[in-house]
Amino acid sequence: MHVRFISRVLSAMAGPRPVVMSGPSGAGKSTLLKKLLKEFDGVFGFSVSHYHYVTREVMQADVAKGEFLENAEFSGNMYGTSKAAVQAVQAQNLICILDIDMQGVKNIKRTDLNPIYVSIQPPSMQTLEKRLRDRKTESEESLQKRLHAAKVDMEISKEPGLFDVLIINDDLDLAYGKLKDALLEEIQKVRDTNNS
């Protein structure tokens, strides 16, 4: 019953289709996003989660009320994407970008958000490991955890129909070209609306 109610609320959301981006840490999502935001200034927006700062009780109550598209818990903290945050971006006629893990992608699939699902994947586990080691930002234990999560992520991303676009980020320019092609229709809509 709960889900059906969420669906009705969501289908009433106006504005350009959001973009759900997923992929393991080190696949190059941030680099691709930076390029996109630089080239298409004033077209994209991010859903900002303010729920890092509320008490667990408040967050749990809101999750129970169906205020969230997806939520998860990491290291004792709760995170989530609220519908209000996405609506706020869409209301400004911006394409809302959601950077979400695989579990979140599956949760959003159960809603009527109707985003463009994009998976950014590394060319291989070896490349990913090299990228993560080159960052020199974490302990061996934490690195191994990331690599394990990435392996699972890469397997799940192959599920037919889960993503609209699967981009293997081997060559940055080619990967960026693919990402741009996937979003061009929505980008055009935003520009047309802003120019009319």
Can you give the pLDDT at residue 173? 97
Query: Which DSSP symbol is given to 52?
Result: G
Which residues share a beta bridge with 81? 70
Can you give the pLDDT at residue 59? 87
- Phi first, then psi, for residue 20 (nearest 5°) are -100, 115
Can you give the pLDDT at residue 5? 44
Can you give the pLDDT at residue 125? 95
CB 147 within 8 A of CB 154: no
AA identity, residue 71: N
- Over residues 117-131, the pLDDT tens digits come to 999 999 999 999 999
Beta carbons within 8 Å of 156's beta carbon, 6+ residues apart = 102, 162
Domain residue limits, the chain: 2-184
Provide the pairing of β-strand 19-22 with 95-99.
parallel
Can you give the pLDDT at residue 138? 85
Q: Which CATH class is domain 2-184?
A: alpha beta
pLDDT below 50 — which residues of the chain?
Answer: 1-12
How many angstroms separate the CA atoms of 122 and 81, rounded?
25
Can you give the pLDDT at residue 56? 84
How many angstroms separate the CA atoms of 89 and 94, rounded?
6
- Torsion sign, CA atoms 179, 183, 188, 190: negative
pTM of the model: 0.84
- Phi first, then psi, for residue 182 (nearest 5°) are -65, -30
- Provide the H-helix boundaries in the chain: 2-11, 29-39, 56-64, 83-91, 102-109, 125-135, 140-156, 172-195
Can you give the pLDDT at residue 31? 94
Give the count of alpha carbons within 13 A of 14, CB side only. Answer: 4
